[in-house]
Amino acid sequence: MTRTLLVASTLLVLAAVAIGWRAMAGPPAASIVPATVTRVPSLQSLVTASGEIVAARYADIGSNMMGRLVSLMVKEGDTVKTGQILARIDPIQASAAAAAADASVAALESDANAAATTERTSQAALAEARSRASEAAKALARAMQLRDAGLLPAADFDRAALAAEAADAQATSAIAALDRSRQAAVAAGQRVSQARAERARARDQLQKTEVTAPIDGIVTRLDVEVGEMVVIGVQNQPGTILMTISDLSSINAEVKVAEADVMRLSVGLTAAITLEAVPGRRFAGRVAEIGASALPQLGAQAAAREFRVKVRLDAADASLRPGLTSDVEIVAAEKTGALVVPLQSVVERSGQRGVFVLDGDSARFTPVTTGIIGGLTIEVDGVPEGTAIAAGPIQTLRTLTDGALIQRAGPVR
């Protein structure tokens, strides 16, 4: 019994000594993954996005009239020229309307010509009536002189007066007739103008039965077949888009960029484009256009805003086609000869960014100024090249304090 108590007492004393030693020794050393401040030839900050290949210039071809497609002159992949006839819509009704309009114009022009002839005849009749009235007035004046001189019988004077009165009446009638013929000619001319306008509309409708190419390019999409009904418009409705013509001499990669990245972009930045359909190749390009507003969001749930960005390929490639999936890396910023550290090694203490420099078996917090981020590294200023720093683990870095004891978990990277 005495021996048992002695052993227990000894164990308690040893435990107390161990606890006291640990208290005096402080917290255990933190296990640290070391890294080195490195100088790189070039550091690039990239914005990545996905999208698809589109022609820089294309035209969705719609119909300007409703009708049945009776002929199709092209197929997908065909090369077309501006003004080339691509398809025809049933022209029977439009042809009949144009022919009727032609006939109406011809008939009304004939009526207008007749009215113009009548007007000219009325003008001649008026001129003749005025001439007779003038002669009759002169004859009456002579008769009045002779009567006053007692050289003309009263009956002869009365006849001269009646003749002058009749000539004046004929002139007045001729004036009225000319006025009527002029009004008729004007009305006939107006009817001709209206008929010609109707004929122009009818001919335009007939011309619209021929669908022509507005640009040079390649038929990259064909959505109709002969016999189908087509309708007016270019909305997202069946029958409104007949085909798409793309000018593949200039190609864009059209991508959606998150709002957090779009402010880092500007027109002219270099980019690299890769395609799932063309593995192993990288196409060079430049940012050609940045959307001025965010793209519409679908659904009621709030989501990160995105902006449309167009990247123009430096050189067109005949193997590329609109719709191919593309991944784009845009060089938002670039620095040569930059000092970099692992991104996770930069921590914040008391509102100041810095890294933990490894000094023997302790870590010293050293403030740094950060620059651009390139992948998993970040540019820093404030520590010399070759300096050993703490690069992990992340959980340890979150709680590491200035001057803390450390032990290195591996060689310096």
Question: Residues 165, 101: one domain?
Answer: yes
Question: Residues 119, 183: one domain?
Answer: yes
Query: 369-388: string of b/e by CB count within 10 Å (b at 16+)?
Result: ebbbbbeebbbbeebeeebb
| pLDDT at residue 408 in the model | 85
Of 185, 207, 229, the one marking the end of a domain is 207
Residue whose tokens read 């004036």: 175
Containing domain of residue 186, as a range?
A: 93-207
Question: Residues 100, 129: one domain?
Answer: yes
* pLDDT over 70 (residue 17): no
Asked whether residue 218 is domain-assigned, the answer is no
Question: Residues 52, 98: one domain?
Answer: no
Asked whether residue 71 is domain-assigned, the answer is no
Asked whether residue 230 is domain-assigned, the answer is no
Asked whether residue 176 is domain-assigned, the answer is yes
Percent of the chain at pLDDT > 70 equals 89
* pLDDT over 50 (residue 382): yes
Asked whether residue 19 is domain-assigned, the answer is no
Question: Residues 54, 37: one domain?
Answer: no
Mean pLDDT, the chain, rounded, equals 87
Question: Residues 174, 124: one domain?
Answer: yes
Closest listed residue to residue 250, CA positions, set 222, 282, 218, 212: 218
Of 207, 234, 268, the one marking the end of a domain is 207
Asked whether residue 241 is domain-assigned, the answer is no
Domain at 352, CATH number: 2.40.420.20
Lowest mean pLDDT, pick from 70-84, 200-214, 300-314 = 300-314
Higher-confidence residue: 410 or 172? 172
Contacts of 161 (CB under 8 A, 6+ apart): 140, 143
Q: What is the pLDDT of residues 77-120, one digit of tens each?
A: 899 999 999 999 999 999 999 999 999 999 999 999 999 999 99
Q: What is the pTM of this model?
A: 0.65
* pLDDT over 80 (residue 168): yes
Mean pLDDT, range 271-284, rounded to an integer = 92
Percent of the chain at pLDDT > 90 equals 66
Residue 24: band (very low, low, confident or very high) from pLDDT cuts 50, 70, 90: very low
Q: What is the pLDDT of residues 358-372, one digit of tens each?
A: 998 999 999 999 999
- Give start and end residues of each alpha helix (H) in 208-263: 259-262
Question: Residues 357, 322: one domain?
Answer: no
Phi-psi category of residue 107: left, alpha or beta, with phi > 0 → left and psi -120 to 50 → alpha: alpha
Question: Residues 139, 166: one domain?
Answer: yes
Asked whether residue 242 is domain-assigned, the answer is no
Question: Residues 55, 117: one domain?
Answer: no
| pLDDT at residue 402 in the model | 92
Closest listed residue to residue 67, CA positions, set 288, 202, 184, 226: 226
Question: Residues 190, 284: one domain?
Answer: no
| pLDDT at residue 26 in the model | 54
Domain at 283, CATH number: 2.40.30.170
Residue 291: band (very low, low, confident or very high) from pLDDT cuts 50, 70, 90: very high
Domain count, the chain: 3
Q: What is the pLDDT of residues 370-381, one digit of tens each?
A: 999 998 999 999
Of 207, 235, 259, the one marking the end of a domain is 207
Question: Residues 398, 366: one domain?
Answer: yes
Mean pLDDT, range 333-358, rounded to an integer = 94
Residue 413: band (very low, low, confident or very high) from pLDDT cuts 50, 70, 90: low
Phi/psi of residue 375, nearest 5 degrees:
65, -120
Question: Residues 99, 202: one domain?
Answer: yes
